[in-house]
Amino acid sequence: MEQAANKIRNEMDANTDNSYIQIVGQSLPDHIQAHPKEAEKISNFQKTISNSLLEMKKAS
């Protein structure tokens, strides 16, 4: 869980001007606490908040 939390913080710190990343990043720690098994998925280096936004744009 610590690795996932650090990854989220790092992405937020690297994208302070992106409000989407900031909002989603603020909610993810609560999600990880409620669903600890999800931390492993979030820790995957290919899974990022910004990539999730790109995937949503493709689907819309």
Rounded to whole angstroms, how far apart are CA atoms 17 and 53?
15
pTM for the structure as a whole? 0.85
Rounded to whole angstroms, how far apart are CA atoms 34 and 60?
29
Q: Mention every residue, 6+ apart, whose C-beta is less than 8 A from residue 28.
A: 4, 8, 42, 49
- Output the tens digit of pLDDT for each of the chain's 60 residues: 889 999 999 999 999 999 999 999 999 999 999 999 989 998 998 999 999 999 999 998
